[in-house]
Structure 1
Amino acid sequence: MTTQTPPAANLSRAPGIEANPFGDSALMLGIADDDPEVRRAGARRLRDILLEVRPYGVLNLVAGAESLLVEFDCLAVSHGQLAQTIRLAVAGLGLEATGPVPGAKDFVIPMVVSEEFAPDLPGVAEELGLSQEATLEALASSVLTINLLAAAMAPMMAGVRFPGQVSRCAEPRTDVAAGSVMVAGTSAIIQPFPGPTGWKVIGRTPLTVCDIREDPATSYRPGDRVRFTVIPESQWAELEGQFLRPAPAADQQPAPQQEGGTHGSEA
């Protein structure tokens, strides 16, 4: 059965929220703002609100970097009704984040930087107008938030404190090693398994970030926080293949602060 899709202009929207029909049984939500960081934070907050409120008829939420797809039962609720429910929920709870995601974990991820493991680091540094050392310091001083799990459960993270945007590769690589730490824009991602990518590779972690022998296969989820730390290549063998786990309690952060950076090492 197909329900009539109301025009987008007729969908009620809270200030700053875009709610557009996506087929017969889904809404695409986003934040109307020029700042990509605001859009990303807003999308995360929308997901948290809908998980808390659980509007009638909603079947599934699919998070994007700057959007949220809400799948619903079109026999139970219409686009307009759901948009209105979401508007009321946001009006009551607010789009402003009230603190870290409940249960959010902190991760400190070691990475090795070498000519083999960081082939794009010189180009990224040049593009940003920084030295390679300053580029790595900008990454290490950032507290990144996992926005979503991309293909193959890759953690896509926002919040790298680069002074500008990093472009993608002009020609994507066809085979990038597992554990590769990659950047584009002011976001970062880790390659869980070998595969193609258009992101720029600036390091590699010896840890295994996704292991189907583990339950669950990843220890992270959207909302978790990540810091990177550069380690010498001599430590690679000691850490290689270890499953990524949250940082010890002493390294857990009470909130996603962006105050300074540290080159620590994972316990």
Structure 2
Amino acid sequence: MTTPQLTWSSERTLRIAFAENADETVHRTVRAAYESLRASQLPAILDLTPAYDTLQVTIDPLAHDPTALERSIASLLSEAVAPDHPIPPARTVTIPVCYDPEFGPDLESVGAHNNLSIEQVVSRHTSAEYSVHFLGFSPGFAYLGGLARELWTPRLDTPRTRIPAGSVGIAGSQTGIYPQSTPGGWRLIGRTPLVLFDPMRDPPALLSVGDTVRFQAISRDEYESHRNERRRTT
């Protein structure tokens, strides 16, 4: 692992770059740095935004000396990026998904692209563990790493203008879940009845950086049962 590179993007933003090519080792390093800076409670830090291979630090420009703050952050990073540096254990979140063809209109094309049957696509998607690398695109949208190589499939040539909330998709080497109804070009393979983002919830997003995610296949009846139960309790 190379030494993290610190660059001021503005008087309020410090960008920390860890590597040019993101992999699970880099993801662990980004998460370790994120957890270390969050625990430090440096008063000048307003927000931390992790991504695949970078960490953005938002600063209060009136509450710090840039040189001194950069030294403090660099010192914390030197410990955080060590291979044996401890990080909090990952929380495991199981996401029920109905892989009904109505909810997964691209199941067949994902299978065809990889010479797999629909059943094999579902089996491989549910047999892996995924890591939440970062949240972006829309509130609560988690980019998940760990998709089996035999499921990698390019995005749609023409994005859909509306994707239902809860839709589970694949794009390249990633998988993810649409928290809200939005346009999008990921290939849809299923849908979860869970609410991924609720502004009235604390925290609003169901998933957080560093979480481990597993998908569990459920039937259409189980999907409807989940939705009905949610309506009764909200």
TM-score (ref. length: structure 2) = 0.83
How far apart are 1:64 and its partner, in Å?
Answer: 2.3
**Does the C-alpha gap of structure 1 residues 34 and 129 become closer, same or farther in structure 2, counting only changes over 3 Å?**
farther
How far apart are 1:223 and its partner, in Å?
Answer: 1.9
How far apart are 1:66 and its partner, in Å?
Answer: 3.0
**Does the C-alpha gap of structure 1 residues 183 and 18 become closer, same or farther in structure 2, counting only changes over 3 Å?**
farther
Match of 2:159 among 172, 180, 185: 172
Q: Which AA in structure 2 matches 1:136? A: V
- After TM superposition, list the pairs within 5 Å mapping 1:1-267 onto structure 2: 15-55=2-42, 57-75=44-62, 76-78=64-66, 80-96=67-83, 98=85, 101-102=88-89, 104-150=90-136, 151-163=138-150, 165-240=152-227, 242=229
Q: Which runs of 5+ in 1 are unaligned?
A: 1-13, 244-267
CA contact (8 A) 1:117 1:204 kept: yes
Q: Which AA in structure 1 matches 2:72? A: T
**CA separation in 2, counterparts of 1:73 and 1:213?**
27
CA contact (8 A) 2:158 2:185 kept: yes
**Does the C-alpha gap of structure 1 residues 176 and 239 become closer, same or farther in structure 2, counting only changes over 3 Å?**
same
**CA separation in 2, counterparts of 1:175 and 1:45?**
36
**Does the C-alpha gap of structure 1 residues 58 and 176 become closer, same or farther in structure 2, counting only changes over 3 Å?**
same
**Does the C-alpha gap of structure 1 residues 208 and 60 become closer, same or farther in structure 2, counting only changes over 3 Å?**
closer
**Does the C-alpha gap of structure 1 residues 92 and 27 become closer, same or farther in structure 2, counting only changes over 3 Å?**
same
CA contact (8 A) 2:131 2:213 kept: yes
Q: Which AA in structure 2 matches 1:239? A: H
Q: Which runs of 5+ in 2 are unaligned?
A: none
**CA separation in 2, counterparts of 1:99 and 1:188?**
27
**CA separation in 2, counterparts of 1:35 and 1:154?**
19
**Does the C-alpha gap of structure 1 residues 146 and 35 become closer, same or farther in structure 2, counting only changes over 3 Å?**
closer
Q: Which AA in structure 2 matches 1:195? A: T
Q: How much is the aligned-residue C-alpha RMSD, in angstroms?
A: 2.6
More displaced 10-residue stretch of structure 1: 148-157 or 91-100: 91-100
Work out the number of aligned pairs and report it: 228
How far apart are 1:196 and its partner, in Å?
Answer: 0.9
CA contact (8 A) 2:141 2:178 kept: yes
TM-score (ref. length: structure 1) = 0.74
CA deviation map 1:45-87 (0-9, x unaligned): 2211211233453222122233211112334222x54443333
The aligned counterpart of 1:249 is: none
Q: Which AA in structure 2 matches 1:105? A: R
Q: Which AA in structure 2 matches 1:236? A: Y
